[in-house]
């Protein structure tokens, strides 16, 4: 299971391998790096267990490169960039090695880590059109050290498709359900699973879907217990939350 950097520092003090003064210095030094157009959060992993992620939309390739170089200079060897257009990814790749995932509009520096979560995260979609959002969620979860099982196009218009994967659903530690239209998939999965379900409304659907608002309201009004909801098309938020749940430690 995930151990935060703070806990590691405290355990080093307890074991006598790190002095109190050195531990205090490590916790206080460089909480962020001010590079003019951005203040890069260097203590995100210390506070939350996972490092800062770059939101690529609205940033120039030069700005993203500046943030990447700041992170790398401070020892962050794996970096995730979300909502990154292909053209920007190509410019960045000319300067630093990045792997781009076209479907999810997501890129990463460094290798995916080994899975060290307490179980598996299942990512399910109502239809094929929901896959881009689901892939953002799945890749985010994998980047944060989780084993992910993908169940795509298992929506309620053909419920037998979902029921053919009952074993994966029952064994999951967290499930992400991404769906547009009326967003019913989350309620159905919530009624089958004994783990937390994170619902992701997508902007897929005809006029009265209102760009995902119908699915959002449907998921918020789910009668299934244990279903939480993130924002429309927020695959990253769902993947991040699922990773946190899948790395929960017993607190004594």
pLDDT value of residue 2: 39
Same structural domain for residues 94 and 36?
Answer: yes
Same structural domain for residues 165 and 102?
Answer: no
Same structural domain for residues 76 and 133?
Answer: no
> Does residue 1 lie within any of the structural domains?
no
CATH number of the domain enclosing 174: 3.40.50.1970
Burial (CB count <10 Å: 0-12, 13-18, 19+), residue 34: exposed
Same structural domain for residues 241 and 129?
Answer: yes
Domain interval for residue 192: 120-245
Domain stop point among 86, 109, 132: 109
Coil, strand or helix: which one is 176?
strand
Same structural domain for residues 241 and 128?
Answer: yes
> Does residue 161 lie within any of the structural domains?
yes
Same structural domain for residues 104 and 132?
Answer: no
Same structural domain for residues 152 and 213?
Answer: yes
Centre a 10 Å sphere on the Cβ of residue 9 and count the other Cβ atoms it contains. 17
> Does residue 159 lie within any of the structural domains?
yes
pLDDT value of residue 31: 76
Q: Exposed e or buried b for every residue in 151-166, given b needs 16+ CB within 10 A?
A: bbbbbbeeeeebeeee
> Does residue 250 lie within any of the structural domains?
no
Domain stop point among 65, 83, 109: 109
Domain count, the chain: 2
- Radius of gyration of the chain measured on its C-alpha atoms: 20
Same structural domain for residues 238 and 126?
Answer: yes
pLDDT value of residue 26: 67
Q: pLDDT (tens digit, 0 to 9) for every residue of the chain, 252 residues total?
A: 334 566 777 888 888 888 888 777 766 666 776 667 777 777 677 666 677 889 999 999 999 999 998 888 877 888 899 999 999 999 999 999 999 999 999 999 988 888 988 999 999 999 999 999 999 999 999 999 999 999 999 988 889 998 889 999 999 999 999 999 999 999 999 999 999 999 999 999 999 999 999 999 999 999 999 999 999 999 999 999 999 999 887 444
Same structural domain for residues 207 and 143?
Answer: yes
Domain stop point among 54, 77, 109: 109
DSSP state of 250: P
> Does residue 3 lie within any of the structural domains?
no
Q: What is the pTM of this model?
A: 0.84
pLDDT value of residue 37: 76
> Does residue 188 lie within any of the structural domains?
yes
User: In whole angstroms, how far apart are CA 135 and each of 56, 110, 226, 251?
Assistant: 16, 18, 23, 32
Same structural domain for residues 124 and 237?
Answer: yes
Look up residue 148 and give its two tokens.
């992910």
> Does residue 132 lie within any of the structural domains?
yes
Same structural domain for residues 132 and 177?
Answer: yes
- Distance of alpha carbon 39 from alpha carbon 41, whole angstroms: 6
Same structural domain for residues 150 and 206?
Answer: yes
> Does residue 251 lie within any of the structural domains?
no
CA neighbours closer than 13 Å in the CB half-sphere of residue 204: 22
């Amino acid at each position: 299971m995930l151990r935060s950097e703070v806990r590691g520092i405290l355990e080093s003090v307890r074991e006598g391998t790190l002095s109190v003064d050195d531990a205090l210095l490590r916790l206080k030094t460089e909480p962020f790096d001010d590079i003019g157009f951005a203040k890069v959060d260097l203590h995100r992993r210390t506070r939350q267990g996972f490092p800062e992620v770059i939101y690529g939309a609205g940033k120039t390739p030069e700005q993203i490169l500046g943030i990447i170089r700041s992170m790398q200079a401070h020892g962050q060897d794996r970096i995730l960039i979300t909502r990154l257009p292909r053209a920007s990814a190509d410019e960045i790749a000319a300067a630093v090695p990045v792997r781009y995932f076209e479907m999810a509009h997501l890129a990463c520096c460094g290798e995916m880590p080994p899975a060290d979560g307490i179980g598996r995260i299942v990512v399910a979609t109502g239809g094929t059109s929901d896959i881009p959002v689901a892939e953002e969620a799945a890749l985010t979860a994998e980047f944060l050290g989780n084993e992910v099982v993908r169940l795509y196009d298992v929506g309620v218009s053909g419920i037998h498709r979902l029921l053919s994967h009952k074993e994966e659903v029952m064994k999951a530690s967290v499930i992400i359900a991404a769906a547009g239209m009326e967003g019913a998939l989350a309620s159905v999965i919530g009624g089958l699973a004994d783990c937390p379900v994170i619902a992701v409304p997508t902007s897929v659907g005809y006029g009265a879907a209102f760009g995902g608002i119908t699915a959002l309201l449907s998921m918020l009004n789910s009668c299934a217990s244990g279903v939480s909801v993130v924002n429309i098309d927020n695959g990253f938020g769902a993947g991040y939350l699922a990773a946190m749940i899948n790395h929960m430690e017993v607190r004594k």
